[in-house]
Structures are given as C-alpha cells and as structure tokens.
C-alpha cells in the first residue's frame, strides 16, 4: 500500500472513531434526558401523593373533629324516643322476656343486713349527756376549749361545740390522748407543747394549757322497734320489718343491675345512625368540658392555683385523640339507648312527667327535682332517662329468679 493510501485509511479510521464517539455522546445525552424526565415524573407523582396525603389527613381530622353541644335533647322526639328511627330494626335483642337469674347472684344475706344496720347506726350517732360515761379512744366527743400560754389566751386557741374524733390527729400531739378516760360533762385542764415546726411561729415550741369542757359523747342509737317507728317509719315500724326492707331493696337493686348487664352483653347493634352518633359525641364533649371547668374552678378556689393547664391536660391526651375516643363512647351510649327504646316499642311502654316524678320521689328527691333536670337537659332527654327506668322495671318483673 502506498503512503497516500495509508494516509487515506488512517484519516478514514479517525473519522469513523469521531462519528462513533459522537454517536455515544448523543445516546448518552438521550439517556440522561430520558432519566431526567422519569425522575421529574417520579418527583411530581410523589409531590402529588404527599399533597394528597396531607389533604386526606386534614379531611380525616376534620371528620373526627367534635364540637361541644349543650342541647341534651337534640335528636329526640317529645316522648324521649330517638327521632326518625325504629330502634327494634337497628338491634338484635336477647330473649328479654325469659331471663333466668341465679339467686346467688342477687341474694342479700343476713350478715350483709347486720353490716348495713351497723353502718346506719354509726352514721346516726346521738349526743349523750349522760353522767358517768367516759371518753374512749375512737369516740366522737363534743367539746368547748380555750387555750392559753402563761395565763394569756392566744389567737385561734378557742372553740365551742366542736366535734372531735379521739385518735384522728386533728389537734396537736397530746391533746386528744389526754381526753381519754375523762368523764362526760366534766371540765379540766390539759397541758401540751406545740411542735417546733408549728405553722404559727408565735406558738412553735411553746407550752400551752387548754381548759376543756366535754359537752357530750356520741353513742350509737338504741336500735329497737321504738327507734325504727320514730325514725324510719317510711320504711318499717319494727326492727324485723326494717331488716326485711333492707333485704328486699338490695335484692331488687342487684336484680336490676344483673338485668341491665345482661341486656347490654347480649344485644347486637346492626346499624348506627351517623347523625345521632355525632350528636352523642358532641353532648359527651360538652359534658366533659363542663366537668373540666368545674374541677379547674374548685382547684383554683381551694388551692389558689391552676391544677390543670388546659382541657388536654385534664383529659390526658391531645384533643384530636380525645375526639376519636368519643366514637366508641358514643356507640356504647347509642346501643344502650336503643335497647330501652326497642323494648318500649315492643311492649308498648310510654312515660310522662308524673311517672318520673314518682320515681324521683321514691329515690329520695323532691318533685321539684324533675323541673331542675328538665332545665338542665330538656324534657325529651329527661323522659328518655325515665324510659330506661320503666323498661327495667318491666323486664325485672318478667325475669325468673332460681
């Protein structure tokens, strides 16, 4: 091959190499461009997904947001029924007409009756002025006292008609102990020493004399037929009659609790009305806010400072978590309301103001308490509460105790 041919071949090879290199550059650039487009698409998709997640989160939080509602009768008809529904279509009730209750679950024993009477006697001690009685540890005595140091009375050291439980530690060390053994209606002096860390610096570490008069010693009442006839005539006129009253009323109370739990545990809800569930959540939040404000006020009044910094501090969780927790609370409340409305529908039971006033009076309230409740909750809600009482009465009468 001539020198000229060799040069031509070399130039051709260089030209081909350049074209090949250029081709690679172009292909590389295309790949980079495609990769850039893909990355851009991925970033765009991710951004859209993130924005969608944020929006979705905001929507969910908005859906769970609960606003307090003061109107406890909202969503109810005038007779106390939940408006616009037939309760018996929304739940599956157990056979409430044939509930079998084991006697062992509700019986009230003689030992329990004895304990109840003893508790009553202790809560209704009478002040005895009988001479010859002596103060014993644990007694409640009524006293007058005047304290002095070196013959001079000191501020805060005087009291009249004070009920003191011996052994309670209500007075400084040594005071109550020196009353033990003292005779009823007697007057005497006792010597005490104020502790060195006593709240009043003027009295800390000082020796003092208290002149004490025992006005009476509280004793248990003589629980006999005469006492029952005088103090418990609305329940019985004899001790035996009162014992039977205690047994019957407690047995009835236990039966009621058993039936109520049975209905709750054996009822299945088929459908929750979303509108009324929302109402129940709002009412529950209003009640909790009211409790928070009242509790905060009481702490402020008696402690002189804020005990809770906020509603969230009071409930122990964030408000958003609390709002979510209201779902289960509202469902349980709704289930219970459906139970009593459904049975009332099936049994044809209704209530009115006269009926519930009688219930309240029987529970120890005066008739005016009905109006107080109506003012607080509205009459439909009050009648809804009354409906539960009437339904439970009816189901308890049908229950079989064995």
The pLDDT tens digits for 282-312 are: 999 999 999 999 999 999 888 888 889 999 9
Q: Tell me what pLDDT residue 55 has.
A: 43
pLDDT higher than 60, residue 51: no
Q: DSSP state, 159?
A: E
Same domain, 273 and 397: yes
- The stretch 107-135 carries a mean pLDDT of 96
Give pLDDT, residue 35.
53
Whether residues 275 and 210 fall in one domain: no
**7-11, 19-23, 25-29, 194-198: least confident range:** 7-11
Answer yes or no: is pLDDT of 175 > 50.
Answer: yes
pLDDT of residue 36: 54
Query: Which carries the bigger pLDDT value, residue 205 or residue 5?
Result: 205
State the CATH number of the domain containing residue 315: 1.10.3120
pLDDT of residue 54: 44
Does a structural domain hold residue 74?
no
Do 215 and 272 fall within a single domain? Answer: no
Q: How far apart are CA 164 and CA 215, in angstroms?
A: 11
Residues 50 and 174 in one domain: no
- Tell me, what's the pLDDT at 302? 86
Q: How many domains does the chain have?
A: 3
Residue 59's pLDDT band, with cuts at 50, 70 and 90, is: very low
Residue 389 phi/psi, 5-degree rounding, is -60, -45
Domain boundary among 202, 219, 236: 219
Q: First-to-last CA distance in the chain?
A: 125
Asked if residue 249 is part of any domain, the answer here is no
285 and 213 within one domain: no
Residue 358 and residue 286 in one domain = yes
Over 79-144, what HEC string results? CCCECCCCHHHHEECCCHHHCEECHHHHCCCHHHHHHHHHHHHHHCCEEECCCCCECCCCCEEEEE
Give residues with Cβ within 8 angstroms of 215, minimum separation 6.
127, 129, 141, 142, 143, 144, 161, 185
Instruction: Give the pTM.
Output: 0.73
Does one domain contain both 291 and 354? Answer: yes
Indicate if 388 and 279 belong to the same structural domain: yes
Q: Which of these, 367, 387, 370, lies nearest to 80 by C-alpha position?
A: 387
Report whether pLDDT(356) > 70. yes
Give CA 205 to chain center in angstroms: 45
Give CA–CA dist 179/212, Å, rounded: 9
Mean pLDDT across the stretch 256-265?
98
Residue 255 has pLDDT above 80, yes or no: yes
Same domain, 59 and 136: no
Q: Is residue 8 part of a domain?
A: no
Using alpha carbons, list the distances in angstroms from residue 180 to 65, 122, 139, 203. 63, 20, 9, 25
Domain assignment present for 23 = yes
pLDDT score recorded for residue 56:
43
* Burial of 57 from C-beta contacts in 10 A (0-12 / 13-18 / 19+): exposed
Domain extent for 192: 126-219
Q: Does residue 195 sit in the same domain as residue 317?
A: no
Question: CATH code at 146?
Answer: 3.10.50.40
Residue 320 pLDDT exceeds 80: yes
Residue 341 lies in a domain: yes
- Please give the Cα distance from 364 to 101 (Å, whole number): 28
Regarding whether 271 and 397 lie in a shared domain, the answer is yes
Average pLDDT, the chain: 89
321 inside domain: yes
Question: In this structure, is residue 42 part of a structural domain?
Answer: yes
Domain-embedded: residue 333: yes
Give yes or no for residue 249 having a pLDDT over 90.
Answer: yes
402: buried, middle or exposed (CB in 10 Å: 19+, 13-18, 0-12)? exposed
Same-domain check for residues 310 and 198: no
């Amino acid at each position: 091959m001539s020198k000229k041919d060799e040069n031509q071949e070399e130039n051709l090879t260089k030209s081909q190499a350049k074209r090949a290199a250029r081709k690679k550059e172009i292909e590389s650039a295309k790949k980079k461009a495609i990769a850039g487009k893909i990355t851009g698409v991925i970033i765009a998709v991710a951004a859209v997904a993130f924005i969608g997640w944020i929006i979705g989160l905001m929507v969910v939080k908005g859906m769970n947001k609960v606003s307090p509602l003061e109107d406890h009768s909202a969503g109810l008809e005038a007779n106390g029924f939940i408006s616009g529904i037939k309760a018996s279509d929304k739940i599956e009730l157990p056979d409430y007409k044939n509930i079998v209750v084991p006697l062992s679950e509700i019986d009230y024993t003689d030992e329990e009756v004895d304990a109840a009477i003893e508790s009553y006697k202790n809560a209704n001690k009478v002040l005895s002025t009988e001479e010859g009685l002596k103060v014993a540890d644990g007694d409640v005595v009524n006293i007058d006292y005047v304290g002095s140091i070196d013959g001079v009375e000191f501020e805060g050291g005087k009291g009249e008609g004070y009920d003191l439980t011996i052994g309670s530690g209500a007075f400084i060390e040594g005071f109550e102990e020196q009353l033990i053994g003292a005779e009823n209606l007697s007057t005497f002096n006792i010597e005490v020493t104020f502790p060195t860390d006593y709240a009043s610096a003027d009295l800390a570490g000082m020796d003092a004399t208290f002149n004490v008069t025992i006005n009476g010693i509280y004793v248990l009442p003589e629980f006999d037929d005469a006492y029952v006839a005088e103090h418990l005539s609305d329940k019985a006129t004899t001790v035996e009659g009162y014992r039977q009253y205690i047994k019957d009323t407690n047995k009835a109370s236990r039966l009621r609790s058993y039936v109520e739990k049975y209905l709750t545990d054996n009822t299945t809800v088929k459908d929750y009305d979303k509108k009324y569930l929302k109402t129940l959540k709002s009412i529950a939040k209003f009640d909790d806010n009211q409790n928070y404000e009242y509790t905060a006020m009481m702490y402020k009044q008696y402690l002189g400072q804020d005990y809770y910094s906020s509603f969230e501090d009071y409930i122990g969780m964030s408000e958003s978590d609390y709002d979510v927790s209201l779902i289960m609370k509202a469902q349980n409340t709704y289930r219970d309301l459906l139970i009593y409305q459904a049975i009332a529908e099936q049994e044809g039971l209704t209530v009115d103001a006269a009926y519930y006033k009688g219930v309240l009076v029987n529970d120890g309230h005066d008739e005016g308490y009905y109006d107080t409740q109506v003012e607080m909750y509205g009459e439909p809600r009050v009648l809804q509460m009354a409906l539960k009482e009437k339904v439970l009465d009816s189901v308890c009468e049908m229950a079989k105790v064995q």
